[in-house]
Structure 1
Amino acid sequence: MRGSDLARAALDAARKAADTRRAGQRGRNVPRGTSTGSRRRRRWSGPGADDRDPQPLGRLASRLAVDRGWNEHLAGGQVFGKWAALVGAEVAEHAKPVSLKDGELTVAAESTAWATQLRLLQRQLLGQIAAGVGKGVVKKLKVQGPTAPSWRYGPRHVSGRGPRDTYG
């Protein structure tokens, strides 16, 4: 056999193999263009938008957050990240957010005067935070003033006045 005869023989063998595969699949009504075996034929997305097209990273991250249920945690993180933009530069200079649990934001003020001022501005601050982050993220504001240093260190503690007892 020469080269052209070998090619014809190989083509005939491939056609026969394809015919036997088709005969075995005739009982299954497989729609055209769908995969029947382990190999999948890649279909092009065409001129319109498709999920397989390159996506912006922000869109993918937001979709991932929605799918995993991370929206509440991310909104809480935005309160801490955008604190100066949400409440203003002057308030952010004298007060910092400490924690956010169950919609209650704890804020530490630098002085008792600022703690009082923040308590008076509480309703407006909640409105600004809701406008910047979304409603329902922060429902309540708890303002703490400065705290005195604690003499209690370590896991064990003896009741009493502490180190002041030894001074006479």
Structure 2
Amino acid sequence: MDGVDNSVTNPDLSTGSFTPEGEQLKGSDLARAALEAAKASAKARGRVPGSKAKGRPVNRRRRRWSGAGPDDRDPQPLGRIASRIAADRGWVEQLQGGQVFGRWAKLVGEDVAEHATPIALSDGELTVQASSTAWATQLRLLQRELIKRIAAGVGNGVVKRLKIKGPDAPSWRHGPRHAPGRGPRDTYG
């Protein structure tokens, strides 16, 4: 119809030739036909089907055990495998950031951890919320020392800056939308 000849499309398994379109191959017959066509193509290029490629040495001697020295086939500790996967996939920075949250009390000390909580870490800036305004002021004074402690425990460059917030004040906003202005507070006394 479109100028395409569809008269011979199915290979004949016994002779290696194609059958007329009247016969449709299905399932395993189609797979066998594809295999026969691949073998015929390899034979036409001068390769014997089932043999190894030329130019590659065949190592007939196979080691059965790794021997006295360490080998890739030896069982590996789970921590080493996990760190290798993290390095391959680029997760090292996120895992170091997670260590800041997981080891917060050990990194900054018990007394500071009792009154300060890490909230977020993005682009080297750690946001910390203090339990009171006095502790927020104290944390601002200790900021350089805290960054040094965190760098010693987790690694340099994970936390570059601290953003210290005081305790949250009550909010009159409920829900994602709000109108500008004072709101319900303008009717109070």
TM bracket, shorter-chain basis: 0.7 to 0.9
Query: Aligned partner of 1:31: which letter?
Result: P
TM-score (norm 2): 0.68
Deviation per CA, 1:25-83, whole angstroms, max 9, x where unpaired? 6x823324169xxxxx6753232211111100000000001111100000000000000
Per-residue CA distance 1:98-135 (angstroms, 9 max, x = gap): 00000000000000000000000001000000000000
Identity of aligned residues (%): 71
Q: What is residue 59 of structure 1 aligned with on the other side? A: 80
Query: Any unmatched runs of 5+ in structure 1?
Result: 1-20, 36-40
- Tell me, yes or no, if structure 1 residue 129 matches structure 2 residue 150: yes
> What's the counterpart of residue 12 of structure 2?
none
Relative contact order higher in (CA < 8 Å, ≥ 6 apart): 1
1:141 corresponds to: 162
Q: What residue number does 1:76 align with?
A: 97
Question: Which of 56, 59, 66 is 1:45 aligned to?
Answer: 66
**Mapping of residues 88-103 of structure 1, within 5 Å:** 88-103=109-124
For 2:93 and 2:71, the matched residues in 1 are separated by 29
Q: Which runs of 4+ in 1 moved over 6 A?
A: none
Amino acid at match of 2:113: A
Secondary structure in 2 aligned to 1:160? coil
The alpha carbon displacement at 1:157 in A equals 1.3
Q: 1:77, 1:100 → 2: CA distance?
A: 9
Q: Which one of the candidate residues 49, 54, 62 is aligned to 1:28?
A: 54
Q: Partner of 2:31 in structure 1?
A: none
Deviation for aligned residue 1:167: 4.1
TM-score of the two chains, using structure 1 as the length reference: 0.76
Query: d(CA) in 2 for partners of 1:69 and 1:76?
Result: 13
Instruction: Name the CA distance, whole Å, in 2 between partners of 1:85 and 1:100.
Output: 18
| Pairs aligned (count) | 140
What residue number does 1:9 align with? Answer: none
